A and B are shown apart, each in its own frame.
Chain A
Amino acid sequence: MNLRFFSATGFSALALAASLSFISGCDQAPGASRAEVVERPDQITDFKTLYTQNCAGCHGNDGRNGAALALSNPVYQAWVDDATLQRIISQGEPPTQMPAFAQSSGGMLTDAQVDALVKGMRTAWPANGAFNGLTPPASQPSGQSDAAQGQKTYQTACAQCHSKPNQQVTDPTYLALVNNRTLRTLIVTGRPDLGHPDWRGVVNGQVQPGYPLNDQQVGDIIAYLNSLRSDTPGQPYSPHSQQ
């Protein structure tokens, strides 16, 4: 085998390849891609950028595992309409911690950017067939609700989990930080990212007793929780230790 021949041709081939890749790669040098155009903050309509800058802090990366509601939950995306999303992003949801983001309400986002967020969520987190043919409770309360009936429903449907010390939703501090719409949204759409069921009550593949909840039952449970609200919520010490 003629080693000298191989090394000579090998070297020239290598040199040729290197120079070709250098010439063809001139505009693709790593530095070229760093010369990006920085848009005006109010011109950004890219969903990923807007979501990361404004929403991810509370709602989590990719709309899950955040402290606040999981926006990527397909049940939530199927249940909520565009107008509601638009209104909540623009005007906030007092007295919860959701702030108003639209410039018209003192925020930093233009109407076009709020629209981009709503459209982007619909594209990024599709809701196809999330209800599995069932009809969920309505997003708006209807008819009369009954707190006493709600307490009974709570005992059968909710208490088996929510009586555990780490799952208390009857804590007046908690109730002071959520409103009826938050409660309705959580009961109907759940937190699948944290393993919390929606209105169908499926836990570990089993439908729990008392489920699925209907519209009336959801209204009653909310009425019951409202009856537990305190005039002076958030006192850190139990009455016993205050004596």
Chain B
Amino acid sequence: MHWLKDTYNWLERRIQLEGPVKDAILHPVPKNTASWWYVFGSAAFTLLLLQVVTGILLAIVYVPSGAEAWSSLQILNHQLPLGWFLRAMHGWGSNFMVAVVLIHMAQVFFFGAYKFPRELTWILGVFMLLMTLGMAFTGQVLRFDQDSYWGLGIGASIASRVPLIGAPLVHIMLGGPIIAGATLTRFFALHVFVIPGMLLAFTGLHVWMVLKLGVNEWPMPGRPVNRKTYIKEYHDLAHNDGIPFVPGAFWKDLVFSGAILAAVAVCAAVFGPYGPTGQPDPTIIQTVPKPDFFFLWLYSVLSYLPANLETPFLLIAPVLGIAVLLALPFYAGEGEKSWHRRPVAVMVLALVAVSWGTLTHLATFTPWSPVMNAWSGATVPAKFVHNLSPTERQGAVVFQSKQCRNCHALGGEGGQRGPALDTVATRLTEDQLIRQVVQGGGNMPAYGTSLSPPEVTALVRFLTTLHPVGQPGATDASRADAETNSPPVKAQAH
């Protein structure tokens, strides 16, 4: 085997990498950083490498042209052996990467790791997060299907709202006034060359600084960061109570990265690739486009915002958010790192996480939006159809054909814009139902002008049957009284 050693020595004499590499892998780190909490950064890096490898393989087949992109994805899905798995790995890899990057960022914030002297590492990380989201968005565009088409349309209309330069901005983004072939080649260049190139360069610098400045020590309450003393304190900690980075801390990174890759593979194998959904053709109106999961929160926010707040929110909130993230290490560059002594930071993190989760969850079932095909596709549950009078049954037909179902659920199916009507008869009397249908109110339009009197009557008769078996419907006591007692006859004056 001496020829192997000779070759190595020949190369090493010229490259001279052995020293720096040894320094990097054997440098001492504080013992308590060899923790399962410190594995997310390396996992994000592993996922980036996975995305690069699967991305290169996809680029061999993918055609970045408006006419052929969609069908080239079909070829990957259906004609190439395991092509679907490759697409699924890239798609799920992207989901995991966004998630792991966000967790990494939350952990760094939670552990106060952005404080002196690691301010620039944090700032680079903020830009890397933006690039990761940029990769996610441009990748969603390259999967040129209906979601992608309309998502891009929304992206363009957001850009168009920028004062003064909105129109030229859209023109640059789309390569013209509309989404066309030039759009896709632009996004291909962004997704394949521009953003990944920058992301890799930033990653290199980010990792370099981690090696040079050392892994952030485990935060201890009562050990605040002080610019004058921190470097010495950290040096003492790493050298007196430290272990070499490899293998002391590194094996946990390796295990976690392997587990993440395995999780991506399992998700890819079980859940399959993302779409493509229907063809990106604006003449197809039977579509309910939705963004991929990392932008679902924005979809919810925009649905709930009043129209006049949309532009301020879209243009001001991101700028403020990024500015806050960038300013953070300068505003709070010293002081306590431990979460025991940083209640505001903990609450901010919890608030952001809960808001993000809630908005994402809401976007999965869009309670604000009618289900436009519920009237023709969701059946009236059979238990509500049997034992109806002919008029009531016609009312059920009116209920379907006038598309009440698109906003009102029955039997768990239908829109959630309005209340579910399974037990509406226990809440409203016949008169109240008529009034509600005819005049609307409480977010419901008035249907008095679009329904004929027999339609309203039949519909309301049907609605009055919607109550549980043992529970009678609501009734107006005075009406029964008026039916049975004739009004008192006035005594005739003599």
Contacts and interface: CB of A to CB of B under 8 A. Distances in A.
A29 B269 contact: yes
Contacts of A176: 452, 454
Interface in B381-413: 382, 385-391, 393-394, 396-402, 405
B352 to A, nearest CB: 32
Contact of A241 (B77, B281, B479): B479
Given A31-B268, A60-B380, A194-B386, 7 more contacts: A30-B270, A57-B376, A174-B390, A174-B391, A236-B457, A240-B483, A241-B483
A55 B373 CA distance: 11
B400 A34 contact: no
A168 B456 contact: no
Interface string B256-279: 000000000000111111011111
Interface stretch (A65-73, A80-88, A121-129, A216-224): A65-73
B85 A169 contact: no
A24 interface: no
B379 A232 contact: no
A58 B389 contact: no
Interface residues of A, number: 53
A21 interface: no
A174 B391 CA distance: 5
- Most-contacted residue by chain B among A167, A172, A174 (CB, 10 A): A174
Contacts of B85: 26, 29, 31-32
B273 A35 contact: yes
B427 interface: no
A81 B400 CA distance: 26
Contacts of B423: none
B401 A66 contact: no
A52 B373 CA distance: 10
A228 interface: no
A12 interface: no
B286 interface: yes
Interface stretch (A36-44, A135-143, A202-210): A36-44
Closest CB pairs A-B (n = 8): A31-B272, A234-B453, A34-B272, A234-B454, A67-B396, A176-B454, A97-B401, A35-B77
Interface residues of B, number: 64
A61 interface: yes
Given A27-B81, A67-B400, A57 B458 contact: no
Interface in B428-460: 430, 434, 452-458, 460
Interface of B: 74, 77-78, 81-82, 84-85, 87-88, 145, 268-273, 275-279, 281, 284, 286, 373-380, 382, 385-391, 393-394, 396-402, 405, 430, 434, 452-458, 460-461, 479, 482-483
A169 B391 CA distance: 7
B397 A97 contact: yes
Contacts of B387: 166
A167 B389 contact: yes
A103 interface: no
Interface of A: 26-27, 29-35, 37-41, 52-58, 60-61, 65-68, 96-99, 108, 165-169, 171-174, 176-178, 194, 232-236, 238, 240-241
A90 B482 CA distance: 48
A23 to B, nearest CB: 12
Contacts of B268: 31
Choose among A235, A236, A241 the residue with the greatest number of B CB atoms under 10 Å from its CB: A236
Given A31-B88, A234-B457, A236-B434, A65 B270 contact: no
A194 B458 contact: no
B379 A66 contact: yes
Given A30-B270, A30-B272, A53 B400 contact: no
A34 B92 CA distance: 14
A69 B440 CA distance: 30
B457 A173 contact: yes
A191 B387 CA distance: 12
B479 to A, nearest CB: 7
A26 B85 CA distance: 9
B483 A178 contact: no
Contacts of B286: 41, 108
B379 A61 contact: yes
Nearest to B145: A38
A165 B277 CA distance: 51
Given A37-B78, A57-B379, A65 B271 contact: no
B164 to A, nearest CB: 40
Contacts of A177: 391, 394, 397-398, 454-455, 458
A206 to B, nearest CB: 21
B269 A31 contact: yes
B272 A173 contact: no
A165 B430 CA distance: 18
Nearest to A194: B386
A67 B272 contact: no
A224 to B, nearest CB: 16
B391 A168 contact: yes
A179 to B, nearest CB: 12
Nearest to A38: B278
A66 B272 CA distance: 36
25 contacts: A30-B269, A30-B272, A31-B269, A32-B85, A34-B273, A37-B74, A39-B278, A52-B377, A54-B377, A57-B378, A57-B400, A58-B380, A58-B397, A65-B382, A67-B385, A167-B390, A168-B391, A173-B391, A173-B457, A174-B390, A174-B394, A174-B458, A194-B386, A233-B454, A234-B457
Contacts of A173: 391, 394, 454, 457-458, 461
Contacts of A108: 286
A197 B307 CA distance: 56
Contacts of B380: 57-58, 60, 66-67
Contacts of B458: 173-174, 177, 234
